[in-house]
């Protein structure tokens, strides 16, 4: 277990689009809540809800999609954790994520 991330605790003001909520499943431990900041076909950037030491492999579960993907931790920078999808679910997850963002933009008039 060598990867470390911290929660930034940043306060935001004004209206902003909410990002996708997810959970990291690490072995048999309780899931760790996180926010998905970015998704592409190769992986995702997430922000954890609390400081956590992570193993090299985790499962990322999207609450709103009811789906999950096996991932490998490939880097951390401050509160951000970059994961690479190790399954073939990347394109489908990206499609869902982009559809959700487009729907949110339409609702708020962006």
Residue 99 covered by a domain: no
Domain hosting 80: range is 1-6+20-87
Q: Is residue 25 part of a domain?
A: yes
pLDDT in tens, 32-83: 999 999 898 899 999 998 888 899 999 999 888 888 899 999 999 878 999 9
Comparing 4 with 25, which gets the higher pLDDT? 25
Phi-psi region of 24 (alpha: psi -120 to 50; beta: other; left: phi over 0): beta
44 within a domain of the structure (yes/no): yes
- d(Cα 59, Cα 68) in Å, to the nearest integer? 7
What pLDDT sits at residue 59?
Answer: 95
CATH of the domain at 2: 2.40.10.430
Is residue 110 domain-resident?
A: no
Does 1 fall in a domain?
yes
State the pLDDT at residue 98.
86
Relative to beta strand 43-48, strand 52-54 is unpaired
Q: What are phi and psi of 69, to 5 degrees?
A: -145, 140
Q: What does pTM read for this prediction?
A: 0.73
Is the CB of residue 90 less than 8 Å from the CB of residue 62? no
Domain assignment present for 97: no
Number of folded domains that form the chain:
1
Share of the chain above pLDDT 90, in %: 36
- Per the model's pLDDT, the better-predicted residue between 104 and 12 turns out to be 104
């Amino acid at each position: 277990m060598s990867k470390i991330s911290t929660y930034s605790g940043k306060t935001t003001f004004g209206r902003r689009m909410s990002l996708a909520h997810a959970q990291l499943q690490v072995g048999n431990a309780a899931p760790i809540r996180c926010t998905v900041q970015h998704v592409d076909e190769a992986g995702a950037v997430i922000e954890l809800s609390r400081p956590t030491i992570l193993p090299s492999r985790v499962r990322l579960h999207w609450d709103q999609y009811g789906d999950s993907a096996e991932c490998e931790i490939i880097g951390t920078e401050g509160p951000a954790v970059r994961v690479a999808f190790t399954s073939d679910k990347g394109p489908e997850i990206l499609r869902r994520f982009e559809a959700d963002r487009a729907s949110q933009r339409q609702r708020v008039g962006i």
